Structure 1
């Protein structure tokens, strides 16, 4: 049984990395491009799966591939749900509330959301609580650092400016999803009792 769960996690990672690599080849047709966003609705999701270059792709895919293994209780369907909800959430926040953002590409905002959501949900596991708190604290510290001092090291590495707003919005979306999931679980438990 455990082997099947790990195989499914590896398949999820392989599919996501493969789709992202394929989209990367034609990135101009898939990035967040504000003038075309509402007429080419697929950009709401695909913008987060294309990257400004292959180094950016590699870094984000590595961070994505680690998630299911450092949080082994995270189920694939949770990750699928987050991957469906977080990209359009971030894109629509850009569109309606951050009009100065004309173009965007990258998974980092979604990654911040994934880690925040899964970290929050992991607080319910007593043996995993300290690790989840550490992850959440590191995300919080990273967001404070980025929004106070900026992001230069990563920008130099990927050869493009880092849109730290995406990280903050993704983390907020992840917190909302994590809290929503925990609330739903609580209501279900109370309904059963």
Structure 2
């Protein structure tokens, strides 16, 4: 059975790599662009699935590839839901709360949100609690570092400024998604036992 789940995760990772790589070829049509966001609504999602360049793509894909394996309890369904739910939430946050952000590309905001969401959910499991707390602590430390010291090394590596607001919004929405998931699970369990 574990073998089946492992194969599903590998196929899922390969599918995400492939979709993002295909979008990358025509990236200008898929960036988040403030001025055309509602005229071209696919950008709510695709702005997070394309990258500034191939180095940016490979770094984000490497971080994405690790996620299903460091939290083995999380299913492909959980990862898929996060890849679908988090991008428009972050994009709409840019649009309404940070209108000065005219363009954006990259999965890092979604990745921060996905790591935070899955770590929050794993806090309920006794065996994974310490590791999940460590991941959340590291995310918090990274956010503090980025918002005080900056991330010039990463910016030089990817050839573009790092939009740390995306990381912060991703974490906020990731924690919100985890909270909604836990509340639904709680009420579903109560309903099943009543």
Name the TM-score class by shorter chain: over 0.9
Instruction: Calculate the TM-score normalised by the size of structure 2.
Output: 0.98
Q: Where do residues 109-188 of structure 1 align in structure 2 (5 Å cutoff)?
A: 109-188=109-188
Q: State the distance in 1 between where 2:19 and 2:188 align.
A: 35
Task: Give the match for residue 65 of structure 2.
Answer: 65
Q: Please, what TM-score do these two structures have when normalized by structure 1?
A: 0.98
CA distance in 1 between counterparts of 2:79 and 2:53 reads 25
Instruction: Provide Cα deviations, 1:119-177, integer angstroms capped at 9, x if missing partner.
Output: 00111111111000000000011111111222111001111100000000001010000
Structure 1 equivalent of residue 3 of structure 2: 3
Q: For structure 1, which segment, 61-70 or 182-191, has the greater mean C-alpha deviation from structure 2 after superposition?
A: 182-191
Tell me what 2:93 maps to: 93
Structure 1 consecutive aligned stretches of length 4 or more whose deviation exceeds 3 Å: none
Q: Distance in 1 between matches of 2:5 and 2:124?
A: 21
1: CA distance between counterparts of 2:166 and 2:57? 16
Displacement of 1:3 after TM fit? Answer: 0.9
CA distance in 2, matches of 1:12, 1:124: 25
Q: Counterparts in 2 of 1:97-108, with a 5 A limit? A: 97-108=97-108
CA RMSD of aligned residues (A): 0.7
**Quick check: 1:51 aligned with 2:66?**
no
Q: How many residues align?
A: 193
* More deviation, 147-156/125-134: 147-156
Aligned mates of 2:60, 2:152 — CA distance in 1: 17
